[in-house]
């Protein structure tokens, strides 16, 4: 067997890495234990790598990967739960379809948020990021930015409203495209 072409391998690793979180979230929607999710991710990655040379670069890698993940998870469920009372496969298909839609929506919202954050002035973006860090206290963030806490709070409220409006407009534009 010949070693993989470095460019193809790098492309696969980049695509897989950028979609691994989505794959885990998708699989967790119907596999009960994280150990099962990790096993399904491993199997999905192996199958995807074996089939990557045939992957059409003009299609959506994430959708392709989730489809492979779906089949690998169903195979794992059958192996793990063959002796227990389990839901019919049609029900799991519905659950998977719903999880896939939710994952796609979260991904679209995240892309819109990233795009809208990029439109803010650097100091505005810094204020928002600082204000929403785990454990952050607005009055401390305001003080460290040299601003009055009340004025800072109002600024954060306005920025949140601007982001929300921007995200909604972007999601609407994406749905029309």
The reply to whether 97 falls in a domain is yes
- Say what the pTM is: 0.49
Q: What are phi and psi of 138, to 5 degrees?
A: -55, -40
What does the block give as tokens for 137?
Answer: 């206290």
Residue recorded with tokens 């392709």: 64
**pLDDT tens over the chain, length 177 residues:** 455 677 888 999 999 999 998 899 888 876 878 889 999 999 999 999 999 988 888 888 988 998 899 889 888 888 776 655 455 566 666 666 676 667 777 788 888 988 999 999 998 998 888 888 888 888 888 888 888 889 888 988 999 999 999 999 998 988 887
Is the domain of 37 the same as that of 79? yes
CA gap 84, 91 in Å, rounded? 16
The reply to whether 114 falls in a domain is no
End-of-domain residue from the set 53, 71, 104: 104
Residue 14 burial class via C-beta count within 10 angstroms: exposed 0-12, middle 13-18, buried 19 and up: exposed
Total structural domains in the chain? 2
Is the domain of 86 the same as that of 35? yes
The reply to whether 109 falls in a domain is no
């Amino acid at each position: 067997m010949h070693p993989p072409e470095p460019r193809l391998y790098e492309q696969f690793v980049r695509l897989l890495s950028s979609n691994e979180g989505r794959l885990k979230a998708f699989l967790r929607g119907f596999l009960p234990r994280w150990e099962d999710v990790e096993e399904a991710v491993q199997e999905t990655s192996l199958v995807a790598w074996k089939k990557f040379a045939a992957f059409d670069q003009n299609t959506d890698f994430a959708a392709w990967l989730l489809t492979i993940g779906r089949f690998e998870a169903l195979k794992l469920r059958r192996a793990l739960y063959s002796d227990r009372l389990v839901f019919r496969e049609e029900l799991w298909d519905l659950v998977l379809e719903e999880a896939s839609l939710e994952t796609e929506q979260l991904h679209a919202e995240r892309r819109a948020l990233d795009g809208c954050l990029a439109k803010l002035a650097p100091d505005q973006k810094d204020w928002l990021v600082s204000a929403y860090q785990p454990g952050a206290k607005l009055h401390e963030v305001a003080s460290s930015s040299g601003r009055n806490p009340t004025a800072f709070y109002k600024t954060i409220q306005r920025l949140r409203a601007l982001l929300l409006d921007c995200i909604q407009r972007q999601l609407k534009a994406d749905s029309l495209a």
